[in-house]
Amino acid sequence: MTQLIYLTVLLPLIGFLINGLLGSKIKNEKIIGAIGSGVIGLSFLIALFSLFELLALPEDKRQVIVNLFTWLKTGGLDVSIAYQVDQLSITMALIVTGVGFLIHIYSIGYMHGDKGFWRFFAYLNLFIFAMMNLVLADNFVLLFLGWEGVGLCSYLLIGFWYDRKFEKSTTSDAAKKAFVVNRIGDFGFLLGMFLIFMTFGSLNFTEVFARASGLNVPTYVFNFIALFLFIGATGKSAQIPLFVWLPDAMAGPTPVSALIHAATMVTAGVYMVARCSIIFASAPAIMTLIAVVGLLTAFFAATIGLVQNDIKKVLAYSTVSQLGYMFLALGVGAFGAGIFHVMTHAFFKALLFLGAGSVIHGMHEEQNIQKYGGLKKYMPTTYKTFLVASIAIAGIPPFAGFFSKDEILWYSYANGGLIFWLIGVATALMTAFYMFRLLTLTFDGTPRFDTHHKHPHESPAVMTIPLIALAVLSIVGGFIGIPEVFSGSHGNLFHGWLAPIFKKAEIKLAHYGSHSHTTELVLMTISVIGAASAIWFARKIYLKNPQFAVNTAKKFKGLYKVLFNKYYVDEVYDFTVVKPILKGSESLLWKFTDVKIIDGTVNGLASIVEKTASYIRKIQTGVTQFYAVIMTLGIAVALFWIILSL
Amino acid sequence: MSIEYFLNSLYLIKPEIAVTIFLVLIVLLDLFFSKKNHLLPFFAFLGLLITGYFVIEQFDIKGLAFVTNDSRAMVTVDSFAAFFKTIVVITSLYFVLLTVNSKEMDETHDRRGEYYTLMMGMVLGMFFMISGSDLILLYLSVELVSLSSYVMAGFAKTSERSSEASLKYLIYGALSSGLMLFGISLVYGLTASTNLYELNALIVVSQANSFVLMFALLLIFAGIGYKISAVPFHFWTPDVYEGAPTPVTAYLSVASKAAGFALLIRFIKVSFVFDKDTLGFWSSNPVFNWQDFLIVISVATMTLGNFAALWQKNVKRMLAYSSIAHAGYLLTGLAVLSDTGLIAILVYFAIYLMMNIGAFLIVILIKNKTGSEELDNYDGLGFSMPFLGVSFTIFLISLTGLPPTAGFIGKLYLFMALVDAKMIVLAVIALLNSVVSLYYYIRILKHMFLAKPKENSPKEELSLQQILIVLSLVIPVIFFGLYFSPIVELAKNSILMLGF
Amino acid sequence: MIPIEYYLILSAFMFIMGVIGVLTRKNAIIVFMSIELMLNSANLTFVTFSSYLGNVTGQLFVFFVMTVAAAEAAVGLAIIIALFRNKQTVSIDEINILKW
């Protein structure tokens, strides 16, 4: 089965081709939906069997490379369509296909009646195809192709409802923003790739990583490579300073937000850093940078999430914040913990988004949580699953989020220091708070909408079943990563599973001294109690005393405004980057450099080319004897040349 | 020479014999069953298939045929020859298909017999150009190809353009071959031999008179350069390509160019190269600096081809200049004088066959509907004829050399060979040339997709056969762009040439 | 015995005359004759060398060249006639609609 891993990539492509080419002719939503979800389901099954096969192998043999074909092989450059199945890639593949499958099913209900139904499924399948290439690639080139591919699909899907308004502008503006910001990151990634090729003479993972740990390469080279790769990761995974596109990406249909902008694509950066762990481990300065960026992103995004009123916006900032957590984990050298959080986050965040989608669906496209309230009784299943997800993200044991988040917090304390831990916990508390603010405002209390005209309804089974499945995963998903403190001699299963991948990097980092179980337990207890009290606090305010929130907001009007306007980052970027670039490009670049210099040069070159061309053309006079003369002259010139060289 | 040996030699030239038999049969059939001459294309097609079978058989065979008492072989059979013969056969097969599907050729239907006889004659000539190893045979085969193609270029004899093309071709060709013949006579005088294998050793001996030798080689190159339309021997190309019936143009641009290249490569490699190092770089006889010579010629050829193509208003003429440019790229591969360069040439030719024939095929099919090859009449065709428009786009992208088409692979291998040989400047020039070429290829697309369609622009309406023919070229262009190792492997196995 | 140089100079002279004829004469038929002259100069060179070197290959070559020359003349005249039917001229200067 492992040898058939390429099918997990191929099947979504087939789905894309069928739906993309024939979708407009099939028209039947059931068939399109069945094809679209079916291929992903099959992919998932194949990945699952591959996992079992991998488990049956001895630990040091758990790396299978399936070379589909070598596209180009010359010198050191070996561009192959080759898939690498190992612990890390199969984990990611399972997350992508598994969560992807559920979201596909959900979309059948969510997109029902949309005129672009087939287009939607075609894009989704294409996205899975690109994403599977990304996670299964055995070389940087293929990874980059997948990387660009998911970016393209994200662009297509954000702008899916190209005819709808989004906030002040259109969805295609949001799509464009995502595209441009991602390009900046991709450029960094590309530079990193070039540097890797220059340094190690290869782009194949196995070779690069072997040489990275073997060759004597100066640290600054590693620093540059790691920096460029990390810039790529900040673009894709929405970290400071390139996070601004993700909240706007919510313009896309909600399943897209769940699949691409929560569960899978945005974690590509985390995956990439984890995959290149040995390179990053050799660049200590960049590791610190990653940890700090991750921490700051987690913290600031959480503060913004506190005051947002758009249900998807809250979740978007929560995603940014959780991604920050993952980078914190990577930065402190806990690669396994980062990937673990990728997994659990995929479960509960996908669930949250799908739940939000269900609410939006039931509320006829209303997204403002201030206009919700009391939805509990209208949509009980959505409420229950949403509750599970909220508890999970808040980090209450024994839900999935608890284990992964706590592992990260523990490593940030052990490898980073107290301050990392403190900010991390503060973020966790805020997360618990805003999630329960969201939950309470949406589902509890009395309806704040016109109950006579609006009749919220529970979503159909095709939408609630994926919710339930994800809820179950959010509850039990963490058990494979029970920390050593509880499981004792078994150790952390998930950690042990991934350990061979990160072994070299961890040896290089080598800071695994202070592993006191007592400290771990104490810290854990503090964070859990903190989270629980945040939840209690949130419920108390928004259920019993909503006026308190309004008053607080009034009291700290300045702060509130700053948070509500997302630290004015968009405005700041607009002011410091976009406007100057526009202005500068208009006056300097366009009017001067472009018109005068570049246009001048290009036009000059072009006109030289054109002029020369028109002269060259005239040589062809049409008179045969003229041709013959030139030919004879040509021979004479050559002869002359020969005489000279004799 | 024993009879056994003679029979063995005949065995080695099986493909040539097959072509000859079919040539004669076509003449006879045309003579005795002139009422049924609409079956001749099928018959020619069949003949080519059978010939092709014999050619493919020869991929693993190597041998010298017609070795005389003083051990001079007239014909060499090796996998290099088999590769180029395969290209000629495939091109000829498409030539038949193109002719059948071209409205332009309708008026010549009563002369089908001559047409296919001439084609078979050309195939025979090209076969001997590819595998001949004696200057006598090479001269004769060049003449055979030329004479047939003069007539073919003027085959639409009521068309002023066609007959003008024919006459220009004739004068220019006769002059070039006259020069070549004089060159051969001088080489013969200096070395007392016309055999390529013997020349290798004898040329060293005759170095005393190297000026005359170089002059002679230059004249011989004029003859070959005219066949491959290298600057400054290219002048006939645009005029003849524009004036000749389009199937003939397509045929000349691929098949006779391939034969010319095969001849040039064999001439250089057999007569001048005496050793090669482990990296596959050839050491050639210092008597003539082929490398510098070819570099200059190739730069001139591709630059002129690309620049002159920029302003063309007639698509066929533009493709003519483009084919000159491609000859320039191919010559860079030869200028490297190495095995990698040779592999690159073979790869490029295999791909060039698909994309160039494909481009001409589309031109024919569009002309069938619009009756024109002028660029202005291509306005909006991308919408009124979407299938042809998209196919043409793919061929043009491939001709430019952009991924994911096969053309990219061809260029890539050529550039890699240049970089391997540290000929960076040449590689950069070739690259810049590709950029220039992008401009005129895109111009066709601009007309097809961005210009407003003419009113009452004709519908696509292709027969199933035509669609299949187009697809048989489009699919490989894409497929080999993604999965090209078969071509590369084939090329690697085909550079085996007898002699050094 | 006449030295070999004489023959070679004669043939070179013929060759140059032929080339100049091709380059300058306006009548297509005369251009053809000039081409024949070129071929014959090559023939002369071949037989000269053949006799000088005592090698028959050159003479062999001449036979083939003569055949080719005949074929070329036949094809050439046919094409000139076809062109004349279309344009009523055999002047090379006037056949230039295909250009640039």
| Band of pLDDT at residue B120, cut at 50, 70 and 90 | very high
Contacts of A636 in chain C (CB under 8 A): none
| A513 pLDDT higher than 60 | no
Q: What is the pLDDT of residue B307?
A: 87
Within a domain: residue A386? no
- pLDDT tens-digit map of A124-160: 999 999 999 999 998 888 898 888 888 888 888 888 8
- Taking the Cβ of residue B307 and every Cβ of chain C, the question of whether any pair is shorter than 8 Å is answered with no
Structure tokens at B362: 């589309």
Work out the number of other CB atoms within 10 angstroms of the CB of residue A29: 16
User: How close, in Å, is residue A198 to chain B by CA atoms?
Assistant: 17
Cβ–Cβ gap A622/C97 under 8 Å: yes
Considering only A160-174, A491-505, B422-436, which range has the smallest mean pLDDT?
Answer: A160-174
pLDDT of A589: 58
Would you place residue B358 in the very low, low, confident or very high pLDDT band (cuts 50, 70, 90)? very high
Confidence of residue B419 (pLDDT cuts 50, 70, 90): confident
Chains A, B: CB contacts within 8 A come to: 74
Q: Does A634 contact B231 at a Cβ distance shorter than 8 Å?
A: yes
CA B44 to chain centre: 20
| Beta strand segments in B201-289, E | 273-276, 282-284
d(CA B413, CA B338): 13
Residue ranges of A 171-230 with Cβ closer than 8 A to chain B = none
H or E element that contains C76:
helix C57-87
Interchain CB contact of A634 with B (< 8 Å): yes
Establish if C28 touches chain A: CB-CB under 8 angstroms.
no
Residue B455 has pLDDT above 80, yes or no: no
Please report whether residue A43 resides in a domain. yes
Residue B352 sits at the chain A interface (C-beta within 8 Å) = no
Interface check A30 vs C, CB under 8 A: no
pLDDT score at B85: 95
Average pLDDT for chain B: 89
Evaluate if residue A611 carries a pLDDT over 80.
no
State how far residue C67 is from chain A, nearest Cα, in angstroms: 24
Chain B positions in Cβ-Cβ contact with residue C79 (cut-off 8 Å): 150-151, 154, 163, 166-167, 170
Q: Are B256 and B297 in contact (CB under 8 A)?
A: no
What separation in angstroms does the CA of B279 have from each of A101, A547, B338?
52, 83, 8
| Domain interval for residue A202 | 1-212+242-251
Determine contact: A632 vs chain C, CB below 8 A: yes
Is residue A592 assigned to a domain? yes
Question: For B316-338, what is each residue's pLDDT tens digit?
Answer: 999 999 999 999 999 999 999 99
Range scoring the smallest mean pLDDT among A268-282, A452-466, A578-592, A617-631: A578-592
**pLDDT over 60 at A512, yes or no:** no
pLDDT score for B104: 86
Q: How many other CB atoms sit within 10 Å of the CB of residue B161?
A: 17
Instruction: Tell me the nearest-neighbour CA distance from C3 into chain B, angstroms.
Output: 15
- Is the pLDDT at C72 greater than 80? The verdict is yes
- What value does the mean pLDDT take over residues A287-308? 89
pLDDT > 70? residue A591: no
Q: Which of A195, A229, A251 is the last residue of a domain?
A: A251
Question: Which of C45, C96, C100 lies at the smallest CB-CB distance from B189?
Answer: C45
Number of domains in chain C: 1
Chain B residues with beta carbon closer than 8 angstroms to that of C11: 185
Q: C15 lies in which domain range?
A: 4-90
Which tens digit of pLDDT belongs to each residue from B11-45?
889 999 999 999 999 999 998 888 888 889 999 99
Contact C42 B185 (CB under 8 A): yes
B293 vs chain A: nearest CA distance in angstroms?
9
Whether C98 is covered by a domain: the verdict is no
Task: Tell me how far apart the alpha carbons of residues B500 and B266 are, in angstroms, rounded to a whole number.
Answer: 10
- Identify whether C100 is part of a domain: no
Angle, to 10 degrees, between the axis of helix B339-370 and the axis of helix B315-335?
Answer: 170
Report the residue of chain B nearest C29, measured CA to CA: B171
What DSSP line would sit under A228-289, residue for residue? HHHHHHHHHTT-TTSTTHHHHGGGS-HHHHHIIIIISGGGHHHHHHHHTHHHHHT-HHHHHH
CB A208 within 8 A of CB A200: yes
pLDDT at position B395: 94
Q: What is the mean pLDDT of residues C41-70?
A: 92
CA B452 vs. chain centroid, Å, equals 36
Residues A356 and A462: beta-carbon distance below 8 Å: no
Residue B250 falls in which region: left (phi positive, over 0), alpha (psi -120 to 50) or beta: alpha
Q: Is A602 on the interface with C (CB under 8 A)?
A: no
| DSSP 3-state of A139 | strand
Contact partners for chain B, using 3 or more CB pairs closer than 8 A, are A, C
What percentage of chain B exceeds 90 in pLDDT? Answer: 53
Cα separation, A404 vs A394, whole angstroms: 11
Q: Least CA distance to C94: which residue of chain A?
A: A623
pLDDT in tens, A28-57: 888 888 888 999 999 999 999 988 888 888
> Which of A135, A139, A101 is closest to A121 using CA atoms?
A101
Q: Is B245 on the interface with C (CB under 8 A)?
A: no
Among A321, A320, A318, which residue's Cα sits nearest to residue A298?
A321
Residues 451-470 of A with CB under 8 A from C: none
Q: Is A630 on the interface with C (CB under 8 A)?
A: no
For the residues A547-574, what does the mean pLDDT come to? Answer: 75
Fill in the DSSP letter of residue C91: B
Report the distance separating Cα B380 and Cα B376, nearest Å. 10
User: Does the pLDDT value for residue A593 go beyond 70?
Assistant: no
**What is the reported pLDDT for A74?**
65
**pLDDT reported for residue C9:** 93
The pLDDT value recorded for residue B316 is 93
Nearest CA among B147, B13, B17, B145 for reference residue B74? B13
CB spacing of A630 vs B235 below 8 angstroms: yes
For chain A, say whether C23 makes contact (Cβ under 8 Å): yes
Q: Residue A502 has what pLDDT?
A: 84
Does residue B151 sit at the C interface (CB-CB below 8 Å)? yes
- Segment B236-258 shows an average pLDDT of 93
Residue A12 placed within a domain: yes
Q: Which amino acid is at A269?
A: G
Instruction: With beta carbons under 8 A apart, name residues in chain B contacting A624.
Output: 167-168, 171-172
- Count of A–C CB contacts within 8 Å? 29
Q: What is the CATH number of the domain that holds C78?
A: 1.10.287.3510
- Residue C70 within any structural domain of the chain: yes
Reported confidence tier of residue C19, pLDDT bands at 50, 70, 90:
very high
Residues in chain A closer than 8 A to C32 (CB atoms): none
* C99 is a domain residue: no
Can you tell me the mean pLDDT for A512-539? 81
CB pair distance less than 8 Å for C83 and B242? no
| Partners of chain A (3+ Cβ pairs below 8 A) | B, C
* Domain presence at residue C97: no
For residue C39, pLDDT over 90 is answered with yes
**Which residue in C has a C-alpha nearest to residue B166's C-alpha?**
C79
Say whether A622 and C100 touch across the interface (CB within 8 A). Answer: yes
Identity of the residue in B167, B179, B186 whose CB atom sits nearest the CB atom of C28: B167
The answer to whether residue A435 is domain-embedded is no
Chain segment A60-114, per-residue pLDDT in tens = 778 888 887 777 776 667 778 888 888 889 999 999 999 999 999 999 888 888 8
Peptide bond into A58 cis (omega under 30): no
Residues B364, B366, B370, B374, CA torsion sign? negative
Buried b (16+ CB within 10 A) or exposed e, C24-38: ebeebeebbebbbbb
> Is the pLDDT higher at A375 or at B357?
B357
* B179 touching chain C per CB within 8 A: yes
Q: Do A71 and B238 touch (CB under 8 A)?
A: no
Q: How far apart are CA B485 and CA B462, in angstroms?
A: 33
Which tens digit of pLDDT belongs to each residue from A269-287?
Answer: 999 999 998 888 888 888 8
Reported as type and span, the H/E element at residue A86 is strand A77-86
Contacts of A14 (CB under 8 A, 6+ apart): A39
pLDDT of residue A23: 77
Q: What is the pLDDT of residue B255?
A: 95
d(CA B228, nearest CA chain C) in Å: 20
CB pairs under 8 A between B and C: 131
H/E stretch holding B75: strand B73-77
Query: Burial code of B120-131, b = ≥16 C-beta within 10 A, e = fewer?
Result: bbbbbbbbbbbb
Where is average pLDDT lowest: A193-197, A543-547, B315-319, B460-464?
Answer: A543-547
Residue spans of the domains in chain B: they are 289-500
Per-residue pLDDT for A166 more than 70?
no
Q: Tell me, what's the pLDDT at B46?
A: 95
